[in-house]
Amino acid sequence: MRKQYLHLSTYHCDACDGPVVAGSLAVRENEISKETDIREVGAICLSCGHRQSSATAPARARHLLPMEWAPTDTIKASHLTAAFVEALNRADLH
Count the domains in the chain: 1
The residue segments making up the domain with residue 15 are: 3-93
Does the structure show a pLDDT above 80 at 9?
Answer: yes
CB 66 within 8 A of CB 23: no
Report d(CA 24, CA 43) in Å as an integer. 9
pLDDT digits (tens, 9 = 90+) for 34-68: 888 888 888 999 999 999 888 888 888 999 999 99
Choose among 27, 30, 29: nearest CA to 4. 27
Q: Is the pTM value of this prediction over 0.85?
A: no
